[in-house]
Structure formats: C-alpha cells, structure tokens
Structure 1
Amino acid sequence: MATLNPLLDPASQSSASIILPPVAAEPPAEQPNVLFAVLRRWPWLVLGLAVGCVLGLLFHMQRTPVYQSTAELMVVKSRPDMVAGGAGDARVQYLEDYIGPQVILLGSEAILKVAAERRLDEQKPFQNPPPDGVAERVAYMKARFAVARVKEAGSNTPSNVLQLSFKSLHPADAPKYLRAIIAAYKDELTGVYEDASVRQLKLLDEQIARLKRGLNDTRVQLDEAERKLRGVIDPATGAVLVPGISQETPERVQQRISDNRSAQNARELEKIVIENRLKQIRDAGKTRAERLATMAKLGIANDRPFLFGDVKDPESMLAHLKYKKGELGTRLGPGHPEMAALNSQIKVLEEEVAARGGPAEDELERYRRKLETELGAISAQLDILARRIDADEETARNMAPVQQAIRNNEEKLKQTAAELQAAEKEKDRVSGSRSAGAYEVRDVTKPADGGQVAPVLLQSLMLGAVLGLLLGGGLALRAELVDRGFRSPEDVRRRLGLPILAHVPVIRANQPNEVTPAAAVDPTLVVWLRPKTAEAEAVRGLRTQLLFSVANRNHQVIQVTSPMSGDGKSTTAANLAIALARADKRVVLVDCDFRKPRVHKLFGLEKPATGLASVVADRADLGDAIRACEVENLSLLPCGPIPANPAELLTSPRFQDVLSDLRASYDFVLLDTPPVLAVSDPAAVAPRADGVIIVFRMTPAAGPNTERAKEELVAVSAHLLGVVVNASSEQHANYGYGYTYKYDYQYSDSYTDQKK
C-alpha cells in the first residue's frame, strides 16, 4: 500500500528530545579465568603438545645410553649369637639383624677406595677408561654404585641377600666395576668393619659426654631462672627464704591486669555519669519550679505534696500565701483589707524563714551531696586500681625475659635428652655389631654385561609433552590477553558503557518469503518478507528498546552507523524502519551514505534521479525527492546522484534545515550514515541527530573498532542510545563471545498447531 507523503500534508506536532535511559555505573572488570582462557585456545595446546613430543623424541635420540649391571651377594654370619626367650615352656630364638651394617659398609668410601687402589686395575681393559686419580675413581664409583637388600619371597621382610648395581656408559665396563667392588669388600670386610666400628664408637663416646655436659649446664640455667622468678622457699615451713619476682604465673598476672582495667573503665564511666548529673544540678535555677524540672530529668522523687507541699512547713505556707495573694490581687486590688492581711502574714513568714537561716534543703541538694560522696569514693577506687595496674605491669615486664629463658631452657633440655638417648642407642647397636663375629660372603648371581636403563623413551616423551603443554598454554594465554575482541554481553556493556539494544541473528536470505512484494526487494528485509522468523523478532525487540529510550515520543531523528563497513548498519536501519512503520509510526528512512548508498537497492527502487544530495545542494525540492514504499507509514529518501563533496553537504546549514522539515513531518527519521572509522561523515551528522545507534558484527577486531567509533562520536557530543550486535551466532564462540540467540516461541496459524 502506497504511503502518503507527509511533507505534502504536514502534521503540526512539536518535536521532543530523546530521554536517554540511565546508564548504570560501570561494573568492575571481571577477573579472567586463566584455565578457561587457555582451554578456549585449545589449538595452541595441541600444537604445543605436538612440538613437545617431537622435541622429546629428538632429546631422547641425543642422550648418551646408560647401561647397568647387577649382582647379588648372600652375607652369612659364621657364628650367629642366639638370644633365648619366650613364655611358659616354649623357647623362642631371635636371630640378630646383622645385614643393616653390611649395607652401610659395602657402600662406604673405605671399600670403594680399596677397589680403586687395588682391584680396579685388575679388570682392564675398559672401553671407557676410569679416571687416573684414586679420589676421582672413588667419586666416579660412588655416583654410579648402589646397594639394597632383597626382600624375602611373598613378604616385605628384608633378607640377608644384597643386590649390587653399577651404571656405566658401556655394557662391558659395568660388570668390571662390580667385580672390583665385590673383591675389595671380601678382602677388607673384617678389618675395615672393625676399624670403622672403633672410630664410630669413639665418636659416639665423645658425643655422649658432650651431650651430658650440655644437659647439666641447661639444668643449672633452668634452676637459676626458676629461683630468679619464684625465689627460694623453705619446703618445711613454706617461708620465703629468697624473694623472687613473683610466685604467680604470668597468665595470672595478665588476667589480673585485664580485670583491673575492666574495673577501671567501669569506674571511669560511672564517674562521667556522676559528673554530668552534678553539672545539671549546678545549672538548675533557684526557683522551686526550675529545681522540680531538674529533679524530673534526673529521676529524683519529690517528697513534698503537689503544689505547696506541707502546709505546716513555713516555706510551704509562705508559697501558699504568695499564690493566694497573686490570685486575689487582680480581683480585690492592693488596698483591700484581705490583701493587707495577706501581706502581714507573708511578712511574718518571711521573717521566720530568714531566722531559720534561709530555705530548707530540698531533695535536689540532698541528691547533690550524695553524688559528691559517690564521686569521691570512685576517685579513690580509680587511684587504687591505677596503682595495682602499674604494679602488675611492672611485674609482668620483669617476668617476661625470665619466663622466656625458662621456656628456652626447657626446650633445650628436651632436645638434648632426645639426642643423648639416640646416641646411647646407636652406641649399643654398634657395640653389639662389633662383637658379632666373622662373616661369609657367597655369590648368588655374578655380574654380567649391563643392559640399557637410560634414556627411557616414555620419560623423554612425557617430559617433552609437559614442556609442550606449558609452551602451548603460554601461547594460548598470550593470544587470549592480546585478543581485544568482546567476550560476552557483559564485556560489551562494561567496555563501551552502553546498553545492548538487540542481538540480531544471522539473516538467512535463502528462506522462503511469507510476503510477496511488488518490487524486487532485498531478501534481508526480514521484518517485511518473513515477519515470523527469529531475525524479525530480534528487530522488533530493537524497536521496543528504541521506543523505551525515547520515552515513546515522536518526531525523533535517529542515526544508525557502524565502526566499519560490512557490519550491516544499512540492513539494520531498513528493518528497524519497517518495524517502526508496522507500529503505526510515520517513518522516513534517509540514505545519508553519499559514498555507497544502498537504501534504494534494498527496497528495489531504480537509481533515483533526485535524492537527499540534490535537496541539500538546492537542485530539487524535498517533496519531489521522497519516494513512497509498499510498507504502510514508511517513506524513503534515497541518496540520489552521488555528490563530489559529501562531507561539505552533510555539514551545511541546508542539511540541518532538511532534518528539521523531516522531523516536523514524521514520527521517526532514520539516518543511514557511513561507517565511523571509514570517513568523517557520521561524525558530522551525529550532533544533528537526537540519538545514535552503533551496529557491529562480532569479529576479533570488533572490540577496539567499536571503542574507537564510540570515542569519535562522544568527541562530537553525540547522544549514544546503545549498540546492536548484528549477525550473532554460535560461531562467535571462537571469539570468546558465548551469546546464543534463540527463541522458545513460534508463530501459529491455528490453535490446533499447539498440540503438535
């Protein structure tokens, strides 16, 4: 249906400015999840794993092979000592464990030195000759020789069989080193063992003597510290012979200080309350009424009857007569006989009160004396508490170093006693082993050519895989940190400080149309051609957000732009114009892209001879340039012939006049302008619009491009309404933007469809 041109029949309506919705304060930046960021870049992990495995394989191939030869020896004690024991009639014999010292002896430097000096040369030739010096040979063998006890079959009990192993760079050299070590062990077993035992016993005796001296010295220091702290007390009478710092524990002294401070704080508070009450009493007036008011504030009971008190009291009688005089004075006059009698009575009572020494003490005065008495008692208590606290603090300060010395000595005493017990136990063990008798060494298995034990291919690959994963993880993390693209809707709002007006899914142009227009319109106009699709619903959501942003006011000029070309701003503007027109809004879509105009192509119009450029250049009338559209309430103002000076036309006063005419004639004027970062035209148009909508696609460069576009628009004081995420889909998860656009509701032509 053709749309009437509002310029030919303008409606007299006043324009209204846009009311922008309040934008919430920018939330704090979210802390990135490192693990999630690395996993999101999983191709880097796969690449790092592959590279690491290749490097591990190369490393494995470059390493020098290591060969190991093994042999087993059975050590038997010729005359084992038997210890009888048991319960009842049973006799149980315990065999002494003599293999432990042999393991130590076999791996000692003494055996290795004998092998290096006497036995190693007998095994020549070597494929890799041993070092020349004895010390170097001992160090070489010590680094490659190992001995362990073999466990009995079927249990974890160690046996008397020793397993010897030696690693070498050649398979034929490893058994030669083992044979030299075994020969040295057999030759020197008894002598070396006895010499080692004697030396070890001598060292243990010296250590035990030193520990005993240290134990005695620590006990003396501990007793001295105890005497300094507690003093000397006669055990028989309990009398203190030599006074110490205190008989109490530091905890008790600290507790008493804490209790006294609590009592001191309580007395201070009571003192403040009493002084405040005394100040109120001193500030009270002289009259009975004022003092009664002060008594009421302080909660003091009035012990006199109401109004005049006890009439037998001269003060109460005097107050009664004065009250009566004031009551009769206005009615009888000062010269009346009754007034004269009252004056005479008042004079007599005043003389009697004066003779008594003035007015009697009232309740407030008695309460003041009571408070002053309490205040004096509290001050005395505070002095006593302060002296006690000072004395206890002085005691605590004196006790602290002595108590620390006691703790240190007690700890040192325990440690020295434990060391002494261990040394005595070791001495008993060495002494028992020394008298055990002779040993016999038997070959269980003899040394053979070594087998390769290193490098292990699996270990090299695992090492390379771990390093590769670390490398891939680092590269993935760096890629994540370098990526400035948007990661979530919250990220868009936080970085731009603007609301998201809509997420428009990818428009599927190959879908069948629900409406057949007369003109060959572009298939991306989904609001017109396929109004029941999710894409059309997203545009209608954008329309709702726009109406909310402008507070549902008409005569608004809205600019639609984008950071870069290809973001879909022309398609979004056209669909938004159709959606507004379907909402009974008179809309005109103005093509302000003087460089690549598309509005006429979208709506299937022939290339117009006149358009906005012609109107601004004063070569055509505005009414002649506006084109009708099949969509009701929608008019089009195409670009027309492409001008040579687009920026100058958009900044001219004539362009502002054209916008004013359109604003007065339409409810909404939508301006399709070029990309902000491509040319300067959008920045020239933005200050003339009531609001600006930024449309962008979710690409890796969308983040920085949109931020730059916003900065340029803000620099020209543009009113930014929000952004539209165009062509959002599942594939944007690769950019870290995990938004998925789905609708749970579908259109239905009949009630029966809902049962399916």
Structure 2
Amino acid sequence: MSEFESSSFNLSEIGKILYKRRWTIAVFFLVVTTFVTLATMLQKDVYLATAVIRIESEAPNIVGFKEVVALGAQNYWASKEYYETQFRIIKSRPILEQVIQKMRLDENPPFAGASDPPELLAGMVSVNPIKNSQLVEIGVEYYDMNTAVEICNMLVKVYRDQNLATKIDATREALEWLKKERSGRANSVKEAEQGLHQFLVDHNIVSFEERQNVVAKRVQDLSDALTEAKRARIASEVAYNEATQLKKQGNALAIPEVLDNKLIQNLKEELVLLEKEKSKLAAKWKPDHPGMQKVQGQINELQDQIGKEIDHLIEGLRATYTMDQSRENKLDSELEQTKKEALDLSDLEIQYRVKKREAESEGMLFDEIQKRQKETEINKSLPDITNNVRIIEEAIAPEHPSPIRPRRKLSIILGAVLGLLGGIGLTFFLEYLDTTIKSADDLERNVKAPFLGIIPSFTTDEEAVPDELFTHRYPKSSITESCRSIRTNISFSSAGKQLKRLLVTSAGPQEGKSTAVINMGIIFAQGGKRVLIVDSDLRRPRLHRAFKVSRKKGLTNVIMGEASLADVIIPTEVPGVSLIPCGPIPPNPSELLGTERMRQISNDMADMFDLVLFDSPPVVAVTDAVVMSKIVDGVVLIAKAGKTTSEIVRKASRQLEDVQAHILGTVINDFNIRSAGYRYYYYYYHYRSREGDESGGTDKVVRKRVKRRHGEHHSGEHRGSESSGGESGGEGQA
C-alpha cells in the first residue's frame, strides 16, 4: 500500500510526497508554462465588432386580423423556442453564404483557402441575447477591426432582409394555395348539398320526427296487445294442463269446466238415480236378471256419454290454448318487425345527420378559405414595417481598437498555475500507482509483526571487500550501527524465550536477504555469540561466494547422510562466524528441507552454536521458506525499499501465518536515508558518521560512498552488490 492510500494520510505526509517528487513537479511546471507562453506569443490578435438588433416577439399588426404567416411567437414557451430558432438562423449556412457572396470574402484569406468558408465564418460569429429585453448582440471576431465591422453590419442586414423575405414568400405561396383550394371547395359544397337532398328522396322521408312518432305509437300498441295475449295464453295453458292432469288421475269430474257444464251435471244426476235403482233391484234380483242387466246397460250408456262430453270439453280447452298461443306469436313478430323499422329509421337519421354535418362543414370551410384569401391579399400589399427585426446599433470601429485575445499575461499566469497544479496532481497520481514499500509504516500496515529496523544503502571503494562483509570491515560505521539496532530489536522480541534458530527470508527475489543474513551474523558475533550461517537456499545459493569458499560439500550432503556437520562447517574470516554452504543443488529442495532429518540437523546446530541463521529462497517464489519456518524459532522478513510491493509482502506474510510461523519482525533493506520524510534516520546516520571521523575516520570513505549511492538512487541507476553474481541472479544487498 502506498503512502497515498494510508488511512493516516495527513499534511505531513503530503509534504513528504511533494518534496520527494519535487523534480517531477518542477519539470511538469516548466514544460506546461513554456508551452503556454510560446503558444500565446504565436497567436494573432483577434478583434471583435458588435451590432445590436431587436427581435420582437410579435410583428406589428396593422389591419387587426391574424396574418397567414405571423412573425414572432404567441406565448412564453413558444417565444423561448422562437428566439432560440432565430439565434440559429443568424448563424445558418444560407445567411452566411449570402454574406460571403455579397462581400466577396471567398476571394481573400483566410476564406480563399478554406474548404468550407461558411463553416469558418460561423466560428467567428457569436449571438448573445441581452437579458430581460428583446435585444440581441451579434458579434464578429476577425484579425482586422475594419473587416470585422463590415462583416458584422452585412450579417445583420442580410438576416433582417431574409426574415422579411421569408414572410413574403410564404404569404405568396399561401395565397396561391388558398385560391386553388377555394375553387375545389366550392364544388365540394355543391356536391354535399345535392347528396343530402337525394338521400331524403331515396328513402321517402319528409320529416324524421313525424315518422319516428308514428313508429313509436305502433310499438306501444303492439306491446300492450302482446301483453294481453300473453295473459290469455297463460290462462288457457293452465286450464288445459290442469284438465289433462285430472283426467290422467281418473278424476275428470273434478275439472272446473266440467263442474260448470250443465249437460254433464244433468247426466251425473241421471246416473245417480240409476245407481240407486240398481241398488234396490240388487236386493231382489241376481246380476244376470234381465231387469238388472237393463239398468246396468243404462248406467253404462250414461257413463260413456259423460266421458265423451268431458273429452269434448278438454279438446275445447286445447283449441283455446293453441289459438291464444298463435295470437301471441303473431303479435310478438309484428312488434319485432316494428322495432326493427324504428332502428332502421334511427340509422337513416344518423346517416342523414352525418351527411348534413359534412355539407355544413364544407360550407363553413369554404367561407373560411374565402375569408382568409381576402385577408392574405391585404397582407401581401402591406409595407416593410411588418418586419419584426430592427437594427438598433450598427457596428463601428473604435479609434484605437484593442484585441479581445490573446490575453497574454493572463494566459501565462493561468499556464503557470495549471503547470503547478498539474505537476502536483501528477505527483499524487504517481504516488498512488507506487505500491512499493518505502517506510516502516508501510511494512507495519501490511505485516502483523514489529518493525526491526533498516539497512541503509551502501557501497565501498575497495573491490577486495564484498558488500556482504561491510559490518565486519567497518564496525563503527552508521550502517553497522543500524544492523546493531536490528540485533537489539530481535533480542527484545524474544520476550524471554531463547532464540537459537532464525530464518531470514524475503517476499520476492533480489531483495537483499543474503546480505542481511551475513551482516546479522557478523553483528551477533561482534556481540559475543558463536554464530553459524547456513545457506539453505538450495536453488540459487550464494553465501559461499560472499565468504569465498567452495560449496562442493554442504547442507545437502549432511541431509543425505554423505557427511557430518563437522565435515561441512567452515570457519570464516569473521571471528565467531562459521558457515555451512549449500552443497550440491538437489532436484527436490522442498522435500529435503521438510524431512525429519533436517529437523534433527537443525537441533544439532543449535546445540553446537549460540545462534543459527538460515538463508532461504523467497517465500512467494517457492515453498522452501514456508517449510523451513516450521523448524526455526523465528522468521525475519526482508523487504527492499522502493522495490518490494505491498501486495507481495502481504502474500508472503499470509503464507507464513497459514503455517503458524513465528514472524519476529520485518527489516527494510537498501533504504535511502536522505529521502524526504525520513530526517530522523538521516540525522542519526550523520551523527554516527561524525562519531566515526572523530574515532579514526573509519566511516569517512563510507559516508562519501553513501552520498554517491544516494545520488545514484535519485537518478534511477540503482545498483545492488550482487549485480555481478552469476548464480545468485542479483539476490543480495540493495
């Protein structure tokens, strides 16, 4: 995460960023200011000529009636649109082409060589309405004041004349159309009136109202008759159905009509008398007696006669019902037919009214056209005073004209301000894009571990002394003191726990972890500890080069059981510091480092020495460092200032945390102590350098080389002490 992204971003940090990138701001400021100054000086003087015209929202109305083509608008919104339209017409191509043609502008530059002269002239014309008035200011910008005045005056005259000409042409066209339309409408009126009369004749209609009254009366009479017929049919139907039902039940004598029939009632009385006589004779005679048979025959004859009379009565009821039903149907049919006649009459009335309205409409339209034709003929003869455009002020050339642009002084000032603000903006943009680690705060924001210290940028004049042994060569230098500070912080970070095995690694390659592990070993040895440095980078080993020893035998031989620890431990020129080289590079480094044999070897190393420092490959590149972190007491993570990004540091920290590695802290390598915002380190460094001079000058050469190194850092020619290493691939001191 860059300083620009920090949640604690404040004015102090802004000052640091601006000071650090001050040359970027200065270069951008000079480039922009110079460019603006040159561009302003090379511009031609431009003059402005203005004229004022009045555009009335309504043209003068002399005759009192509405014109066919009215100039202006009738309400607020229409007025607004009207004025916007007029402003565009003033700068339209037809108007500008007339100005160019009348003034022969296309014969002189810049119009002579232009591909589109009207478009070029349009860019010189400005139209500005004067607030709260009907006045409009028309301006023309040109390189010569007199020419600008001539163009401006010609433009307003052409626009004024064109506005009136538009009205006259439209009026002429409208008049011709009205004459033609009037002739056609006269025939239409005649045809419509004749068609209306023929419609009444064809349908034999004199008056729709009288005809409708007759039909309505018939409908009412038929409706009343139908109601009475329905009542009679229902009554006859009920009587017939009741008689039929009683007969089926064998109770025909209970039919109301039978009870009211005198003939049947007389026959019933005779039948009763015969029944009584039969009862008397039955007491004396047997059923087969001739007297009994005679009476029985008479009874049977009366019963047959009564049945026939009942049948005749029921048949009469049926005939009455049929007749009533037929009458009802007939009346219903007549009523429906009469209603249809009424509806047809209504349809005819609707058709009649449509035709009547058409005839009336044609007549009204003809009258209106005839009226408008006369009004238009009057409008055509009106004078120019009906034009709603007036020239109020013509353009004039002042005695001592001043150009409107370029405003050179203001442009240069604005260019300078823009250059300064642009440079500052560019600075913050570059800072936003820069996500490299540049301070302890950056590391602490990305790694949940304490910050242990810095290793400043350094180099030497003596080619025989490698940078890796710097703290041994210059024990009183400020750089060595920085390493001692790291040693002290590591000691305090143990929190009472003895740290015997430390893994020194980095997030990515070429960040100086090998240089850091060597100088940390030297510093701990100077503190009285017996230190063993182990080159556990089984992929790109380089510690043997720093100490100028062979790596034919080393750690891999011990792991494989081909040698003992005593066989591969090599004393170095630094008192108290021993080295175990890598040995032959194996095909499977991660598997070797993760074996139980490696864990036992590390324990044996811890028993033999006060402190064992392991140099391992980068965390993100391979898994070797993650595997090794499980068998050590702590891990020190190295980050190179200005190179290591926040993202890769976070990723390395997460990988170590995932295996529960004990991260003791972080160290910034190749730190430029003269960078803006880090004055504390610079004062500390300067103090230690002076102390070295007073104690024998051992730090004098180093300080000179650090200053040179600082200059190389700002010029972009940053060099690491491992730039000449073959197998190391550039890994080492920043």
Q: TM-score scaled by structure 1?
A: 0.43
Q: Could you say which structure has the higher helix fraction? A: 2
Which is higher, the Rg of structure 1 or of structure 2? 2
Q: Which has the higher contact order (CA 8 A, sep 6+)?
A: 1
Q: TM-score scaled by structure 2?
A: 0.45
